[in-house]
Structure formats: C-alpha cells, structure tokens
Amino acid sequence: MAKAKTKFFCQQCGYETPKWFGKCPGCGAWNTFVEEVETSGKSRGLHLSFSDKKEKAVSIINIESSQEERIITDNRELNRVLGGGVVPGSLILVGGDPGIGKSTLLLQASYALTQQNLKVLYISGEESVRQTKLRADRLQAVSGLLFVLSETNVEYIEAAIDEMEPDFVVIDSIQTVYHPAVASAPGSVSQVRECTGHFMRIAKGRGIATVLVGHVTKEGSIAGPRLLEHMVDCVLYFEGERHHSYRLLRAVKNRFGSTNEIGIFEMRESGLVEVSNPSELFLSERPMGVSGSTVVASMEGTRPVLVELQALVSTTNFPSPRRMATGYDHNRLSLIIAVLEKRMGLFLQNQDAYLNIAGGVKLDEPAVDLAVAVSIASSFRDQPTQPFDVVFGEVGLTGEVRGVSRVDQRVREAQKLGFKRVILPHKSLKGWTPPAGIEIIGVNTVAEALSAALV
C-alpha cells in the first residue's frame, strides 16, 4: 500500500522540507511554503546488468555533427530571439505579466506556422474555445490547420496530441493543467513539476515543438519551482509597460541560440506588429537642446539599438540624497556618481540624481556608463549635449574610459539614423574603418568626454 506523506514546498524556489518554515532556507523568501500531500510507495529494486540497457555510451568522435533543423516563421523578431527559428522537439517556456500579450503572440505565431502547412494545436486552460476564436477573429489568425482545445487534464491533452499528431503545441498555461496522479491542486509546485516533465517527454519523444506559458510573480520571475526553467530548452520573457505600446521579447535561456537577443513588437488593435528599426522608435520623441539628455548605442545580442538616456539632478534638503534609476542598475549609477565626484570635482553630495532610460528599455551592459556620466554632468551643470552626438564606453573607478566590443556596428547604426558625431573609447578605434560622413572622437578619460559632449 502506498503511504501518504505531507511535505512543504517553497512556491518560489521549490525547496522541500518535512516541516513548515516562515522563511525559506533556499531563497530567503517569507511565507512561501505550502503544504502538499505526496503519495510514495516502496519501489522494487531492479537489478539490471550493463548489457540490459538500451543505449550505450559512445565516443564523441564517432557522433555525427548535424545542424538543428528549424522551422522558420514569418515573424523575424521571434526567429531572432529563438536563435533562427523553432527547433522541432524543443520545449519553450514563455513568461510575462498578465495582459502583456503572451496569448496574442503565440496565437499569431501559431497562425504563421499554419501558413507553412504545419498542423498546430492550441490548448487553453484559461479560456473556452469560443473566447479563443474571438481573439483569432480579431487578429485575423483563422486557419483550417489551427486546432483549439480547452482542457486542463494532462492525460486528455496527451490523448489529443496522439490523435492529431501536430507539429506545434501551445499550452496556455502550465499553472492551469494538472496530472490526476498528483494529489495537490493545479498550479502547485508538485503539479507544475510533474506536468512540465510530462510535456518534456512528449516533446522529446515525438519531436513536437511545445510552448508552455507561465505566470510570473510580483518580482517578475516565472512562478513555480526554479526547476521549471532548468527542464525547458528555452526561456523567454515578454516584457513591456501597460502605458507603452511596444513589447520586448527577451531570451534568458536558449540551448539552441544566443541569450542576448531581444525581439521588439508594437501592440496595435490588430495584434502585435514587429518593429524592424527599434532605434527610430526609441528616439521618436527625443527633445533637442535639453540638458541631461544623451543618446547611447547599446548592443542587444547582435543588434545595435540607439536609446535616449535622461538624467535629472536637483538640490535636496535631506541629509542623504536619493539615487533612482529606471532601466539601469542602481548600484552602477551610484558608482558613476562617485567617480564624477572624486575625479571630476562635481559636488553631488547634496543633489538628488534620477536616471531614466526613455521608452522603458532595460540596459545592463557596461558600454552605457559613459553616456550616464555625460547625462548626469549635463543636468548638474545645466549644459545641453550636442543634439547629434552618440556616446558609449565603459567607465573605470579611476575615471578612465575602457574599450567596448562591436564598435563598428554601433557607429554604422548611428550613421544610418543621421547622427554626426560619435564619442567612444580611444582604445576601440583599432581594427575597423569608420564610415564616411560621421566624425569619430576617441577619449581616454571622462573629462575628455565631458569637454567634447557638453556645449
């Protein structure tokens, strides 16, 4: 007879313990443990010899190298984030805030695959088939090869997959499906872990590309155990602000491509429309001749993106000034302010400093440092920057400007958008030829960059 055991699981990281804790020893989160009943029985030991195994180890030299076959969709932004297309048999996890457009993106991607005579099964555990049909009508994503199923039982879903034999499956969402053999409720740690493992075996065993939609927590991470992200082949985050019309699809894990790529979409009434030139979108509302505004050339994977930085420095009456950053690392902002105080002599100890990446983009590469320093100094001195300048470079603690990678791509993107000058590290001038029609200024220190950038 199987014996029922009661265990406690952390909903944030999946930490397992036989008793309840207020604070999780694994991730440090408070009040995240939930009680679940696990059914376990005594397993009989199987004494198998080495010759009874189906697969045997082979030398890596004898394994033939072959390129993964990919399904190329009509959505170029989605292809870029996935590393060139959808790999058959891959398991993809897509997370994002409620209402951000995950279902819209996947329904449009499913319709695009049906245009290549591929059979797609869209399984919705949150909406009825009529609701899905209404969204498909609005998106003009109706096809005879697109099948819709409203089901949450994993066994029924597997039976439907066996009957249809689709090429592409969407599960919306993984927190709503359940396995009848697991006693806990849908969305619990045990259910999410068991259902994800079940879909992984289906995807790998039958060669069906499967997409799982995952809910996110208030911190922005995918809900459920951390094991969920380790089991899948690709983890995508669909980001964006409700007050902005564009969305960012970012890969944080990809076994078949780069994890630095982003796809940019614009939300319209007819659905998501891919943005071919994101730099024009981010600079469309940029003011001219205003202090604190600087354009930086950042690399998002293989794509250069020009974004506007806005800094505001104002006097404070409180003993400890505020340091706030949106879309940029707060600790990095404090470091650059300390460099400006120590190396440049800017008295910022009684100044509040606010930094904003216009458009809600998140930039985390060190090449943004020099543009941040120029923006803060411009706002502090109330001196506007040159309106047709692009600034990028890494700033060191001694005030030096360090070299960055892929300089030629950044400069060519700036030239394409009509900028006249580029201020960059002097060490990055070697190994490439600047294009005609744009002035290149190499600097070694932050002081040289400020004297060249400020009017």
pLDDT band, very low/low/confident/very high, at 2 (cuts 50, 70, 90): low
Q: What is the pLDDT of residue 43?
A: 40
More confident residue, 417 or 259: 417
Does the pLDDT of residue 47 top 70, yes or no? no
pLDDT in tens, 60-83: 888 877 666 888 888 889 998 998
CATH number of 281-453: 3.30.230.10
pLDDT in tens, 139-157: 999 999 999 999 999 999 9
pLDDT in tens, 298-321: 998 778 999 999 999 999 988 899
Is 23 marked within a binding site?
no
CB atoms within 10 A of CB 75: 22
Q: What is the pLDDT of residue 193?
A: 86
The tokens of 320 are what?
């400890």
Is 56 marked within a binding site?
no
Does the pLDDT of residue 225 top 80, yes or no? no
Distances in whole angstroms, Cα of residue 3 to Cα of each of 38, 42, 182: 9, 9, 13
Which strands form 33-40's sheet, in the order they lie side by side? 16-17, 3-10, 33-40
Does the pLDDT of residue 455 top 90, yes or no? no
pLDDT in tens, 248-275: 898 989 998 887 788 889 888 888 998 8
Tell me the HSE value of 174 on the side-chain side, using a 13 A CA sphere.
Answer: 35
Is 431 marked within a binding site?
no
Is 396 marked within a binding site?
no
Q: What is the pLDDT of residue 50?
A: 39
The answer to whether 127 and 176 are in contact (CB under 8 A) is: no
pLDDT band, very low/low/confident/very high, at 294 (cuts 50, 70, 90): very high
Enumerate the domain spans of the chain.
3-41, 70-276, 281-453
Which pTM value belongs to this model? 0.77
Is 51 marked within a binding site?
no
| Residues 6+ away with beta carbon under 8 Å from 276 | 76
Is 103 marked within a binding site?
yes
Is 133 marked within a binding site?
no
Looking at 267-271, 385-389, 395-399, which range is the least confident one?
267-271
Is 3 marked within a binding site?
no
3-state secondary structure of 439: strand
3-state secondary structure of 227: helix
CATH architecture group of domain 70-276: 3-Layer(aba) Sandwich (3.40)
